[in-house]
Amino acid sequence: MSNQQVTLTQFIIEQQRGLPDASGTFTLLLNNIVTACKQISHRVNCGALIGVLGSAESENVQGEVQKKLDIITNDIMVKALDWSGSLGGMASEEINDPIKIPKQYPKGKYLVLFDPLDGSSNIDINMTVGTIFSILRCREGIEPETEDFLRRGTEQVCAGFVLYGPSTMLVLTTGNGVNGFTLDQDVGEFILTHCNMKIPEDSSEFAINMSNQRFWEPPVKRYIDECVAGEDGPRGKNFNMRWVASLVAEVYRILNRGGVFLYPHDLRDPSKPGKLRLMYEANPMAFIIEQAGGLCSTGRERILDVKPNSIHQRVPLILGSKNEVERIIAYHQQD
């Protein structure tokens, strides 16, 4: 397929055309998600001009202080999706329980889970933020319970994220590779600009929060120590370090030029196995990363194979270039 002025809608319709059970419902759902993300992009771009920056002086279900835009973007996502008839239900990182479809609307055959504004701690300093989403199948017409959402990442039918940076980018997989679309602000359409994105198998770039170093497990400390040692160490080459504190930005960089991102298990609080959420962050990103030729792991288990035990479950996350992630997994196995 040519990458010249192919819109997202055309791209999805052409992908769905060859499927025997395609009904247009999935295309409608994805279009509604994209419409919500265009609205979010506008709010993010306007920022202080429309008074949406700063803290809302409230906490989400994880006990994190919410930004005003966390609440606004969550409402935008819900209102864009609840009426369409495509969904059986939704789940948001910002809300404790699954979000029910209002009784006046029909229920559909999909479930959507989303982080409406990933990296929102960066919003007040004008750094990159984004929206992450994951789509699962649902038994049509049912009122889904929490258990209906607790599915392994291998059961996702689609995952994507939208990056609100110098340009607004959508990265998407439906299980047939990864493609990137750039929002043409003049016409309001996402245009295919990055076909079949592939992550280089080798890299000399890593991203980790070094301030947590004293809490790391030995396998992670070993890997980072070797990277920092550079040419003088066992790796025999120099590495660069990056840390944006925005998962969407880190993953987008890795998709474009390789690298490895680590938010590993640490020893600060044994009751917290990780920082990032399995259902809203790790699973969709793992689907994208693997479809682009990379790997995604907790260090001890493939992310997409993790059986969820709660809708807001947290996990360690290590993802990126295949050979680097394999090395980190091997260090965990040796530990």
C-alpha distance from residue 232 to each of 208, 222, 238, 240, 247 (Å): 21, 15, 8, 14, 31
* Residue 90, phi then psi, degrees to nearest 5: -135, 160
Distance of CA 113 to the CA centre of its chain: 10
> Please, are residues 34 and 12 in contact by the beta-carbon 8 Å criterion?
no
Is 121 among the annotated ligand-binding positions?
Answer: yes
Looking at the chain, list the stretches that DSSP marks H as alpha helix, in order from N- to C-terminal side: 8-17, 25-46, 68-81, 146-149, 218-229, 247-257, 283-291, 322-334
Q: Which two tokens stand for residue 291?
A: 């479809």
> Please, are residues 305 and 187 in contact by the beta-carbon 8 Å criterion?
no
CA distance 143 to 186: 40
Length of the chain: 335
Q: Which two tokens stand for residue 288?
A: 């994208």
Neighbours of 176 (CB within 10 A): 9
Is 119 among the annotated ligand-binding positions?
Answer: yes
Is 209 among the annotated ligand-binding positions?
Answer: yes
Is 232 among the annotated ligand-binding positions?
Answer: no
Q: Is 10 helix (H, G, I), strand (E, B) or coil?
A: helix
Is 283 among the annotated ligand-binding positions?
Answer: no
Give the single-character DSSP code of 74. H
Is 117 among the annotated ligand-binding positions?
Answer: yes
Measured between its terminal Cα atoms, the distance across the chain in Å is 46
Is 23 among the annotated ligand-binding positions?
Answer: no
Query: Which residue, among 158, 138, 164, has the nearest Cα to 46 in the 3D structure?
Result: 164
> Please, are residues 143 and 100 in contact by the beta-carbon 8 Å criterion?
yes
Binding-site residues for substrate, in ranges, read 118-121, 209, 275
Binding-site residues for Mg(2+), in ranges, read 93, 115, 117-118, 281
Binding-site residues, in ranges, read 93, 115, 117-121, 209, 275, 281
